[in-house]
Structure 1
Amino acid sequence: MLTDPLSSYRDRFVGAESPLVYFDGNSLGRPLRATGPRLAAFVEEEWGGRLIRGWDERWMALPQTIGDDLGRIVLGAAPGQTTVGDSTTVLLYKLMRAAVAARPGRTEIVIDDDNFPTDRYLAAGVAEECGLTLRWIEVDRTSGITADQLAGAVGPATALVVVSHVAYRSAWLADLATLTAIAHDAGALVLADLSHSAGAVEVELDAWGVDLAVGCTYKYLNGGPGSPAFAYVAERHLDQLTQPIQGWLGSADPFLMGPSYAPAPGIRRFISGTPPVLGMLAMQDMLDLVDEVGIAAVREKSVGLTSYAIEIADAVLAPLGVVVASPRDPALRGGHVTLHHPLMREATARLWEQDVIPDYRDPGGLRIGLSPLSTSYDEVERGLSLVRTTLSSLVE
């Protein structure tokens, strides 16, 4: 029998008591029960009670305060290097532009051809804006970028390497430390997308020497729909990089309202506009919970869940022609599993009608996202049993 020392934490999530099978926690995490009262108290006490005084008392510092918590609890980052605000897309753009500007004379951005669409689209746009070239690395859709592939792609022309720590399709867990070292040997900077790893996989940005990182907070960090993203800039770069969206709150003295822009010292220079205070509140509850449990224990549960899902898939789905399209070695796998079959698009639509909620990724991929603290082993078993029944009805 499977043992789960973290099973009691599941009760802290809204809806966990229902029979619904939620296989999409890697796209939108369940809310914590503590979050509703936190939001209500904010409306009544801080927003309603303190009004504009709240900016001076607490709100203006929240992007860096929560950023430091993120750094300490899940990113392996010392204080003063992480801020919260904007969307993942906007922050990726800011850091891409800042990075290529910091490597004048270099002409290439390196990125793999199965990176998340936003990362690829932005890299293409930045390359066009700056007169650069994209160097594409072709990767296996069931795995991801390897050290050998990167070593063969970087060189004196490389300004920036963009890599997802966990591949959105396959869950391939990139060796970020090794990839960073390879890029640095070529004189390039590294921008890591942590959207599918932060909160589920152990991350050590400082120790790995990563230059820049961005991630969303509505997946494993349970910040809610559209919650703001985070940006990490290694301390050694903070006073050297120039971000391209120069808003008033990233200036040295925002309330001077001066005639020209002078960047603030440190990570605050990467803030552009007014902090999204309401959007930052929910993730504080999840950060508190991960801090209580420990990211190592969260990762252990994640490995257990994904390994169990693969075990069941081999037993009951493989006879139907289903292929595991994610790494089998847990050391190479993030927090989700993709199961491939030509009829998975149709199966996904039928599963949603039965309150089994995975998501679908072309070509033919049923993606099983297993958020460690809100997902149970029983849920995995029940859900994959219904996948078998549903797929069987389509195959017949």
Structure 2
Amino acid sequence: MTDFAATRRAFHLPQGITYLDGNSLGPMPIAARDRVARMMTEEWSEMLIGGWNRAGWYVQPRKVGDRIARLIGAGPGQVVMGDTLTIKVFQAVSAALRLRPGRRVILSDSGNFPSDLYVAEGLARAVGAELRVVAPDEVEAAIAPDLAVLMLTEVDYRTGRRHDMAALTARAHDAGALTVWDLAHSAGAVDVDLTGADADFAVGCTYKYLNGGPGAPAFIWTHPRHADAAQPVLQGWMGHDAPFAFDMDYRPASGVERMRVGTPPVIALTALDAALDVWDGVALPDLRARSVDLTEAFIAGVEAECPDLVLNSPRDPGKRGSQVGFRHPQGYAIMQALIAEGVVGDFRAPDVLRFGFAPLYNHADDVARAVGTLARILHKGTWKNDMFHRKAAVT
């Protein structure tokens, strides 16, 4: 049985704050501060460039990738870290396209994160392919014999709607296509099983539910059946079979190592590695059960106390990730008033108040405080204050 009281103590949670925005940026694991300080004073300061060998900086992307693999249903040696999620999306989709020569269609949905769609649109334009975008509930019907790549985010960033990864992957395979899954709102939040779903490629970020810190590096997974055949368009020095031979011609490394691009972000990977320590005693079925309990209690409380808000997430927890959205025409101002009261969620245009529930550190008291504070703000109309309507650069 997972000790969630212990995992909560592993985080620095500012006094007086109820934090329900871990689906945007996870809080700081206490161990990360000390681990990064030790890396800088004992490794960078004293070893200088020798840290690449002596401190193991060069192999960090593989070692940290192995730790994430357990959380997404992957095996050792199948996940590698580095770069941003956008770059990893580009690598995965471009590699999948090249594995399906003669097919030129990429299918996605309108609930996908815009950055993923931007990448697919640009890639399609560059190689003469076509990006088709349909509504989330129309994806299965849109899988056709001309499809090359199905590119989806498993959990919708606005609504929390969760695609059936196994069913859609099977449908894509029946049509002869490959799948690319974005786990940005899944890894660390739900019970992902890439191997069980027989997916082809997956990518994800680590600064949300994995708590790696702002700008933490992304990860990419390649199914072993594709690992030595995948040819990403973006080929970098660290993905070469022999980087320090300095060959003029690119020769891909074996397996997922070929998905490395540039120099590893050592400081960020050190913080992420410390953050992953929290997961060592966590059972994913326990995580999922606690997530369902928290989100169900929050939905019930808000609907009972805040009738002006409209649920924007699936009511069935089996079709929902670990976040809940409610809609209101003045959603931005209401969220700013809520944050001013110490309950931190976020806003997504045009009208969604979004709340992320991270079982590692959120508990029932957080739900009760969030519901009570939200109800008071709506009852008193405090959100009408002009200062809550001034939009900041980041919402």
CA distance in 2, matches of 1:53, 1:355: 45
TM-score, reference length from structure 2: 0.93
For residues 132-168 of structure 1, the C-alpha deviation after alignment (integer angstroms, 9 at most, x for no partner) is 11222123xxxxx4xxx33321222111001111111
Q: Counterpart of 1:180?
A: 169
Q: Counterpart of 1:70?
A: 68
Quickly say closer, same or farther: Cα 1:158–1:361, change in 2 above 3 A.
same
* Contact 2:79 2:221 (C-alpha < 8 Å) held by counterparts: yes
> Once structures 1 and 2 are overlaid, which stretch shifts more, 354-363 or 180-189?
354-363
Q: Counterpart of 2:388?
A: none
CA distance in 1, matches of 2:39, 2:78: 27
Q: Counterpart of 2:225?
A: 236
3-state SS of paired residue (1:174): coil
Amino acid at match of 1:69: R
Q: CA deviation at 1:305?
A: 1.0
Query: Equivalent residues in 2 for 1:40-79 (5 A)?
Result: 40-57=37-54, 58-72=56-70, 74-79=71-76
CA distance in 2, matches of 1:341, 1:49: 55
3-state SS of paired residue (2:28): coil
Q: Counterpart of 1:84?
A: 81
How many residues of Structure 1 are paired with residues of Structure 2 in the alignment?
381
1:351 to 335, 338, 345: 338
Q: Counterpart of 1:361?
A: 348
Query: Equivalent residues in 2 for 1:293-332 (5 A)?
Result: 293-318=282-307, 321-332=308-319
For residues 90-114 of structure 1, the C-alpha deviation after alignment (integer angstroms, 9 at most, x for no partner) is 1101111111122111121100012
2:21 maps to 1:24: yes
3-state SS of paired residue (2:261): coil
Query: Equivalent residues in 2 for 1:89-238 (5 A)?
Result: 89-139=86-136, 145=137, 149-238=138-227
Amino acid at match of 2:123: V
Amino acid at match of 1:330: P
For residues 68-98 of structure 1, the C-alpha deviation after alignment (integer angstroms, 9 at most, x for no partner) is 11102x0110112110000000110111111
CA distance in 2, matches of 1:363, 1:246: 38
Amino acid at match of 2:367: V
RMSD of equivalent CA atoms:
1.5
* Contact 1:222 1:282 (C-alpha < 8 Å) held by counterparts: no
2:378 maps to 1:383: no
CA distance in 2, matches of 1:136, 1:273: 31
Q: CA deviation at 1:20?
A: 1.1
CA distance in 2, matches of 1:11, 1:70: 21
For residues 25-46 of structure 1, the C-alpha deviation after alignment (integer angstroms, 9 at most, x for no partner) is 1110011111111111111112
CA distance in 1, matches of 2:208, 2:345: 14
For residues 190-210 of structure 1, the C-alpha deviation after alignment (integer angstroms, 9 at most, x for no partner) is 000000010010111111110
Structure 1: gaps of 5 or more residues? 140-144
Structure 1 runs of 4+ aligned residues shifted over 4 Å read none
Amino acid at match of 2:68: L
CA distance in 1, matches of 2:215, 2:106: 28
3-state SS of paired residue (1:331): helix
TM-score, reference length from structure 1: 0.93
Structure 2: gaps of 5 or more residues? 385-395
2:244 maps to 1:262: no
* Contact 1:85 1:276 (C-alpha < 8 Å) held by counterparts: yes
1:290 to 279, 283, 288: 279
Q: CA deviation at 1:211?
A: 0.3
CA distance in 2, matches of 1:307, 1:7: 20
> Once structures 1 and 2 are overlaid, which stretch shifts more, 279-288 or 4-13?
4-13
Amino acid at match of 2:337: R
Q: CA deviation at 1:285?
A: 2.7
Q: CA deviation at 1:5?
A: 5.5
Quickly say closer, same or farther: Cα 1:169–1:306, change in 2 above 3 A.
same
CA distance in 2, matches of 1:5, 1:95: 36
3-state SS of paired residue (1:34): helix
CA distance in 2, matches of 1:388, 1:356: 12
Q: Counterpart of 2:392?
A: none
* Contact 1:80 1:235 (C-alpha < 8 Å) held by counterparts: no
CA distance in 2, matches of 1:286, 1:328: 31
Q: Counterpart of 2:321?
A: 334
For residues 273-318 of structure 1, the C-alpha deviation after alignment (integer angstroms, 9 at most, x for no partner) is 1111111122223322222122222222111111111111121012
